Amino acid sequence: MKKLISGILTVALGVGCILGVLPSETRAAGNLEPKTLYLHIGSPIALSQGKTVSVDGTNPDLVPVIHKGRTLVPLRFVSEFFGAEVQYEATTRTGVVKVNGKTVQFPVGESYYLLDGKKMSLDTETLNISGRIFLPLRAISEDVMDLKVAYQNKVIAIGDQAPLGSDEVDVIKERIGAYVKVSSLTELKNYLIQSKENYRYLTDKSTQTDGAAAPAPAESPSRESAAVEGESASQDNAGGAGDYSTTNTQVEGVDEADIIKTDGRYIYMLNGNVIHIVKAGEAMELAAKVSLEDGYPQEMYVDGDRLVVIGSRYEGDVNPEARGDKTVEDVVRIMPVYGKSLTYVEVYDISDMSNVQSVRSFEIEGSLTTSRKQGDYLYLLSNLNIWNWGDGEIRPMMGENGKLAPMPIDDIMVMPGRPAEAYLTLTAINVAEASEAVSSETIAGSGYTTYMSNEAMYIALNSWYYDEDAKLDIARFTVSDGSIGYAGSGQVKGWLNDQFSMDAHEGYLRVATTYWNQSEEQNENNLYVLDDGMQISGALLGFAPDERIYSARFMGDRGYVVTFRQVDPLFVFDLSDPTNPKITGELKVPGFSSYLHPISDTVILGVGSDVKDVYVKDKNGKEVVISQQTGGIKLSLFDVSDMGKPREIDSLVIGDRGYTELQYNHKAAMFKGNQSLLAFPASLSSYDYKDNWEGALLVSYSGNKLTELSKIAAAQVTEDGYYGGFGQRLVYIGDTLYYAQGHVIRSFDSHSFQETGNLDLR
């Protein structure tokens, strides 16, 4: 993939009672030849010896293509895979292959090649696609490499033996053909038409708003570049550290957006359509105010001299009657549209607080799903419902500085055999360098739960339909300095509780799901381990029947899962053998933890709710439990040093009834490690709801003991006595805590919790 301003991808019991991997849960690899290379038209990954490999590690856009009725494959990948030596002569634009004592030359753009100087004809010309030489499949495989070739239903087999029966084709399609690139607008149109049962309205004709139509891309797969076999430049990233809080994230090195940020000098507060930048210190003061008039800002990042704001905006209604009967060829109108939603990214230079300037403005059609930031690159995930179109364009619109254009056709991927529901778009934006060029990939698929490691992003894609197998697709995309590449997908059964239900470790992805067993009419829970090819290597199925997962956390070779119905079982998993995950221990305590946080290698903090039984007297006067209701906010410390015997070593319940955003949003927590301090916003009330309190709770977990240190009551932020306010968060800088709520920020000593400052930004 080319270097990006944005790189875009648009795209699915107790111990001893555990079942092994069911036969239906994993598909055998068939009788695939171990020394055979398998490819799929349109797929950026190949299969050999049971493992998936990238067709081009430096350019994840490259795929086998059909050109003038012939299959073309990348010269370097196929040749080097089978041990040939490949060179490129830039002056003559010729690829040179040396193998089996032969020297073969392939001039770019010519319909011939030279075999030891003898001119040999080709069925079609060689192409330069994104800086790589592509040439006819059989010419390089059979004529040059002396290999056999089989081709069936877009599946290619190359090797000394290349059997390709229907069973092999099915396996290969499942492994590397789940997501493929479309080669033309017509192919994309036909794919959408085949999905027409998914829409209320679909027609071959489409209206078009006034103005020039976006030009349709060429049908040819060739994309000329300045140099064949070229390399893109790399860029170093830098970061800093200090005694101040950062957003509570899942993965070290992968930042997550929030509504409050600090860099140790300033505190950045997103309040409605304004970002207030407050200079921290004994006397807080407003350093800058950034007005965000266009759209609805939702979250932000701060890194060095860059402030990154992410939000959404909505373009005005479209009157269907004003469209008339204008049509445009090769597009599909799904249904009338009354407006358009867009996700935007605005990057500001904050090196001079007296003159904050926007240095980059990017938009993509669709709604914001989530984002991550690694180094200088922002990774943005957005969803666009396909039936939201009506203006004559079936591709997502994207661009910078208000200039939107359809996503390039050769950057769009679809799921053959699966109807389209939405476009899922993964965008990578260099926030430090505004001049970096744009590249894109897109896939038709709807996904929400996302986990990102330092090497890859995993997206759980929902199916548009429900079936008794309840399969969930998980797609893996490599991410590196703004380059995004599809790297395979796998399937598990059930659904995910949140992003913490996925975790990558030493080449394996661990996934915890809850599954509704229709035949038993109850929930079941599963834990899967997927290998680097996204295939199931091991699993535990059916634990904790009739409950569901409320929280999960993975730490190295261990996993921890909390389920709940009447009590809170904490399961401990030994994942040291990816082919044979085991439950080693189980602990049942009242209530449940909806968030798990590692305090150390052997102690886990749980935050959730206490649970009370509701009793009635039966006809004999005996009290029986008829239901349960949640009570106060419950914190627990679990000792997991003995994997077979997890223990709750301490617990703390705050309030008769309680609620905190931390129960569903981990970013609401502030941890001050050197004081073993946890702080988070909360609301408490009495059983009869007559006594209510709102503010921040401060809890110590020092010495494996939970202690409520203080309650900081929320400030009154409206004349009618409303407490709280938008964006309640706590951050610290040095020994000072800052409690932000709406337009009010107050400072406190982190030891005495006495208020030291107050700033009202209204």
- The more confident residue out of 41 and 720 is 41
Least confident span in 18-22, 27-31, 527-531, 573-577: 18-22
Tokens 């009834």 sit on residue: 657
200 and 152 together in one domain:
no
Q: What is the mean pLDDT of residues 581-606?
A: 94
- The more confident residue out of 237 and 385 is 385
For residue 82, give the CATH number of its domain.
3.30.457.10
263 and 374 together in one domain:
yes
129 and 184 together in one domain:
no
- The more confident residue out of 723 and 497 is 497
pLDDT of residue 615: 62
pLDDT at 441 over 80: no
* CA-to-CA separations, 480 to 131, 234, 237, 487, in angstroms, rounded: 19, 10, 12, 13
pLDDT band at 420; cut points 50, 70, 90? confident
Least confident span in 71-75, 206-210, 273-277, 719-723: 206-210
- The more confident residue out of 415 and 290 is 290
In the sheet where 456-462 sits, what is the strand order?
Answer: 446-452, 456-462, 471-480, 483-493
pTM reported for the whole predicted model: 0.87
346 and 477 together in one domain:
yes
Decide if 466 contacts 42 (C-beta within 8 A).
no
pLDDT of residue 591: 84
CA angle 217–223–226, rounded 5-degree value: 135
Q: How many domains does the chain have?
A: 3
Residue 294, both tokens: 């266009």
Q: What is the mean pLDDT of residues 577-602?
A: 94
- The more confident residue out of 470 and 102 is 102
Cα 104 from Cα 86, distance rounded (Å): 10
Single residue among 470, 486, 502 that ends a domain in this structure: 486
pLDDT at 734 over 80: yes
pLDDT at 43 over 50: yes
Q: What is the mean pLDDT of residues 482-507?
A: 94
pLDDT of residue 731: 98
For the stretch 614-649, pLDDT in tens is 666 677 777 665 556 778 999 999 999 999 999 999
pLDDT of residue 442: 77
438 and 373 together in one domain:
yes
Cα 753 from Cα 756, distance rounded (Å): 9
Q: Which domain, by its residues, includes 408?
A: 1-12+180-229+243-486
Does 251 fall in a domain?
Answer: yes
pLDDT at 561 over 80: yes
Decide if 298 contacts 292 (C-beta within 8 A).
no
Strand pairing class (442-444; 412-414): parallel
464 and 437 together in one domain:
yes
For the stretch 102-116, pLDDT in tens is 999 999 999 999 999
For the stretch 109-156, pLDDT in tens is 999 999 999 999 999 999 999 889 999 999 999 999 999 999 999 999
312 and 389 together in one domain:
yes
Least confident span in 25-39, 322-336, 373-387: 322-336
Residue 166, both tokens: 């229907």
pLDDT of residue 223: 43
354 and 303 together in one domain:
yes
pLDDT of residue 209: 32
Does 518 fall in a domain?
Answer: yes
